Chains A and B, each alone.
Chain A
Amino acid sequence: MRFVALAFSILLGSLAHAVDSGQAFEDPAQQERYERLIRDLRCLVCQNESIADSNATLAADLRREVRELIVAGRSDEEIRTFMTERYGDFVLYRPPLKPRTWLLWSAPVLLLLGGLGVVGMVIARRARAARADPAALEEEPESR
């Protein structure tokens, strides 16, 4: 048990070890913005990592850019625009809502509605079948 706890603490300790070697901001609000921004930006080299998590040189360079833009007083929106002007929407983990991404954003809702529709149809059909011929349902083992 103690061993498991130790193993966990080592594991968590290594997770907490930051990739980012840059200096922390003096202003905690800026630090918070910085951390949020770099978590939402994709590393283009290792595409399933954010630039906060990636060790790639490009990720370090992009973190430096974000840091400098924050220091220069740019807003979050301006920093995101800076990135998308160079690397496209792909650099954002949350793609913006626009005609090209409508299908992407609406897919979960559409799929849910589709599933509900199918369920509704099945229920309605069973109800109708039960009303028309109550004996028919008794053949199914799970029906009451």
Chain B
Amino acid sequence: MKTQLRFLVPAIAFTALVGFFVVGLRQDPSEIHSPLLGKPAPEFSLESLGNSGWKVGSADFAGRPWLLNVWATWCVGCREEHEALIAIAREQRVPIMGLNWRDDRALALRWLAQLGNPYVSVAYDPEGRTAIDWGVYGAPETFLIGADGVVLKKHIGPLTREIWERDFLPLLPPSGGEG
């Protein structure tokens, strides 16, 4: 009995440790859980990228779900997800607002002209203040905001068709039939 315990205790401790490692190593340390989930989306009102006299902001889509996509021309992952974004925009399930983060206006406009524009509107945030309010730490980041203004989902990194269908679509109300 004594000898059994002598081997059993380290064995259990070892298994527990391995368990922690298995869980810990499977998580991506660069993906930080956002405290924003389930909370009202931070409000903002910024200059429109295309028209500095025009204000765009979180109130624009009040009462219906919308996507906020944080992007910049210096961001490689944004280039990567751009086609997926355009395809999602074409489906017209949710309007996509862009948050142009710490970027140059002329470069950003050229990017949209060359690669296509998936956004209903783009907020221009050259100082990164709104980005901080949204807890942004690396572009691209994509938020889904529900009709009640609550943040439902945050995706860090390039969006793909698979991620869109798996993580975002189930959170949206069924489409209005115009399909």
Contacts of A57 in B (CB 8 A): 102, 128
Q: Which of B25-33, B53-61, B162-170 contacts A (4 or more CB under 8 A)?
A: B25-33
With A57-B102, A57-B128, A58-B128 given, is the CB distance from A88 to B33 under 8 Å?
A: yes
B134 contacts partner chain A, Cβ-Cβ < 8 Å: yes
Instruction: Tell me the minimal C-beta distance from B17 to chain A in angstroms.
Output: 11
B15 contacts partner chain A, Cβ-Cβ < 8 Å: no
Instruction: Tell me the minimal C-beta distance from B68 to chain A in angstroms.
Output: 14
Q: Within A24-83, which residues are at the interface with B (CB < 8 Å)? A: 44-45, 47, 57-58, 61-62, 65
**Residue in B127, B133, B137 whose CB lies within 8 Å of A44:** B137
Inter-chain contact A61/B135, CB cutoff 8 Å = no
B138 contacts partner chain A, Cβ-Cβ < 8 Å: yes
Contacts of B134 in A (CB 8 A): 86
Interface range for B: 10 to 19
A85 contacts partner chain B, Cβ-Cβ < 8 Å: yes
A61 to B137, CA, bound (A): 11
Listed A/B pairs (10) with beta-carbon separation below 8 Å: A47-B30, A57-B102, A61-B128, A61-B129, A61-B131, A61-B132, A62-B132, A65-B132, A87-B35, A87-B135
* Residues of B in contact with A (beta carbons under 8 Å apart): 29-30, 32-36, 102, 127-129, 131-135, 137-138
